[in-house]
């Protein structure tokens, strides 16, 4: 396929910021280089995983020949339609949340909050464009990577074809990511709907917004758009939003949603969608009853599917599943030993930081593990994640149910923020720190934190798990007072108090007499 077909990439709206973005991540005047005789690594896909593999391998100063192929926008979902734009919009929405609660802090404000929705979205586009040079084709070219813009497919067991050019490789990495799943609701395609890939192109606020899916993406955007002035109705087939999270944590967020007047339709089955003169009419069944609602826009926040099409994976014996993606072993090696994969194309963890961590494993296993010696395993990673609602839910390690399934006896320590001074001062008492540890031991197995900045706090527990630091040592760590992170220390102190058995107390009493 000719590269000219990819020079007309357009990101809407076509303003100065999106033009700047495109100039970095898919420059219209880009000329693909002449391929090297043979590449040490050919990487297909320039999202987080692909960028990290390419930059990491080329940046070692070993003279490795690396090619990176991208058919759309470098930076992938994270930069263009995921983490970066969503967090910019969420930050604006948090300002509104602060204003709503201002009276609780003795600050009187006008009852009406004027949200300039076009300005919010313009700010997002400006910040995204400002960040985009980090993922630019030019930057990676300067790092020594041969960047090819075009659609790639395997031509043989050691070649990839892109833009009518043949790239020969010793090893290849598939990092083509995933995309929003199509909704199988009759009439919805004809009515039209938004996904995370199109919602950030909005320039006018939809007055009435339906969000389908009560998982992390749906919940984050439902709350953000509600705060930015939309009437939001959130449909979820489960009995509770965020049903894969800790139940206590999800309950807090659900109550916040109700307080903020997000209409929740739970235990819901979508029936069909019709386009009417008044908007898009959704028909649904909830708890056995038929109902309908008319909205201006529909946002699909449920499901991702891997980008496996067009790669000619059958040609190179790479097994895949259209729902779960490319099949890999624990070393991220596909069924073709010369081809590896990383990121959303092959992993259940669909997070930017997970793709980054997996890419580092791929660098080690493709380039520095002769005869399979010293390979790193995906299963060895300790993976934290965050749902960026307000408050946030951050988690790392096991849930109690997972530990039970593995036959591990556990104890749980829960510290409510109603007992943490800084949280009280901040007016953020609804959250908690919950730490799961092995019964009879201070070994930390998992943790969940619910707080406005839970994502900033979870790394302390992640560090403890990775470095096998138990609750006893964590208790000795001095935390600045007053901070909400003191909740972690309080949990560790709570564990230490469980060690004060009657026998221990008698021994300590003897020590005091001898001292």
User: SS3 for 143?
Assistant: coil
Give the length of the chain: 515
What is the per-residue burial (b if ≥16 Cβ within 10 Å, else e) of 25-53? bbbeebebeebeeebbbbbbbbbbbbbbb
CB contact at 8 A, 45 and 63: no
* Backbone angle region of 332, left / alpha / beta, with phi > 0 → left and psi within -120 to 50 → alpha: left
Contacts of 74 (CB under 8 A, 6+ apart): 24, 25, 26, 46, 51, 135, 136, 137, 140, 147
User: What is the reported pLDDT for 7?
Assistant: 55
Peptide bond into 391 cis (omega under 30): yes
Mean pLDDT throughout 235-243? 96
User: 131-168: per-residue pLDDT in tens?
Assistant: 999 999 999 999 999 999 999 999 999 999 998 999 99
CB contact at 8 A, 311 and 176: yes
293: phi then psi, degrees, rounded to nearest 5: -150, 145
Mean pLDDT throughout 425-450? 98
Contacts of 472 (CB under 8 A, 6+ apart): 442, 492, 495, 496
231-235 and 304-306: which strand pairing?
Answer: unpaired
> What are the chain's domains?
3-82+124-179+305-380 (3.50.50.60), 188-302 (3.50.50.60), 391-502 (3.30.390.30)
User: What is the reported pLDDT for 6?
Assistant: 47
Burial (CB count <10 Å: 0-12, 13-18, 19+), residue 333: buried
CB contact at 8 A, 227 and 93: yes
User: What is the reported pLDDT for 163?
Assistant: 87
Q: Which residues define the annotated binding site?
A: 87, 213-220, 303, 344
Q: Which residues define the annotated binding site for NAD(+)?
A: 213-220, 303
User: 57-100: per-residue pLDDT in tens?
Assistant: 999 999 999 999 999 999 999 999 999 999 999 999 999 999 99
Q: Which residues define the annotated binding site for FAD?
A: 87, 344
User: 8-32: per-residue pLDDT in tens?
Assistant: 799 999 999 999 999 999 999 999 9
User: What is the reported pLDDT for 505?
Assistant: 75
């Amino acid at each position: 396929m000719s590269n000219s077909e990819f020079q007309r990439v357009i990101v809407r709206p076509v303003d100065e910021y999106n033009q700047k973005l495109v100039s970095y991540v898919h420059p219209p005047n880009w000329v693909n280089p002449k391929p090297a005789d043979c590449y040490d690594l050919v990487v297909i896909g320039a999202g987080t995983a692909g960028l990290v593999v390419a930059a990491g391998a080329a940046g070692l100063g070993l003279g490795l020949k690396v090619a990176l192929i991208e058919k759309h926008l470098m930076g992938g979902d994270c930069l263009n339609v995921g983490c970066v734009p969503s967090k910019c919009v969420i930050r604006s929405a948090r300002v509104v949340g602060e204003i709503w609660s201002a009276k609780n802090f003795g600050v009187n404000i006008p009852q009406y909050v004027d949200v300039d929705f076009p300005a919010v979205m313009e700010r997002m586009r400006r910040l995204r464009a400002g960040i985009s040079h980090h993922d630019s084709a030019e930057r990676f070219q300067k790092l020594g990577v041969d960047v090819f813009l075009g659609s790639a497919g395997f031509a043989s067991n050691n070649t990839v074809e892109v833009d009518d050019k043949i790239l020969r490789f010793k090893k290849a990495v598939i990092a083509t990511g995933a995309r929003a799943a199509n909704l199988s609701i009759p009439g919805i395609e004809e009515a039209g709907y938004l996904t995370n890939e199109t919602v950030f192109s909005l320039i006018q606020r939809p007055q009435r917004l339906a969000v389908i899916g009560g998982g992390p993406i749906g919940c984050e955007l439902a709350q953000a758009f509600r705060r930015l002035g939309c009437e939001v109705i959130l449909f979820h087939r489960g009995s509770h939003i965020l049903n894969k999270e800790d139940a206590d944590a999800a309950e807090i967020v659900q109550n916040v949603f109700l307080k903020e007047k997000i209409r929740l339709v739970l235990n819901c089955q979508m029936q069909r969608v019709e386009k009417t003169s008044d908007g898009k009419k959704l028909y649904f069944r909830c708890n056995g009853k038929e109902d309908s609602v008319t909205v201006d826009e529909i946002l699909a926040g449920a499901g991702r599917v891997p980008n496996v099409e067009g790669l000619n994976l059958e040609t190179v014996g790479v097994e895949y599943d259209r729902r779960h993606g490319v099949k890999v072993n624990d070393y991220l090696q596909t069924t073709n030993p010369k081809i590896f994969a990383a990121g959303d194309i092959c992993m259940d963890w669909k997070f930017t930081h997970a793709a980054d961590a997996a890419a580092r494993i791929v660098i080690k296993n493709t380039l520095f593990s002769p005869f399979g010696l010293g390979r790193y395993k995906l299963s060895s990673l300790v993976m934290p994640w965050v749902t960026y609602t307000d408050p946030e839910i951050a988690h790392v390690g096991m849930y109690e149910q997972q530990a039970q399934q593995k036959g591990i006896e556990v104890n749980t320590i829960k510290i409510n923020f109603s007992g943490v001074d800084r949280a009280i001062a901040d007016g953020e008492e609804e959250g908690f720190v919950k730490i799961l540890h092995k019964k009879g031991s201070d070994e930390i197995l998992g943790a969940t934190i619910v707080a406005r900045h839970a994502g900033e706090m979870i790394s302390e527990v992640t560090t403890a798990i990775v470095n096998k630091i138990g609750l006893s040592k964590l208790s000795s760590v001095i935390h600045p007072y007053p901070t909400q992170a003191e909740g972690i220390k309080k949990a560790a102190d709570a564990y230490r108090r469980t060690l004060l058995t009657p026998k221990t107390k008698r021994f300590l009493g003897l020590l005091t007499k001898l001292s």
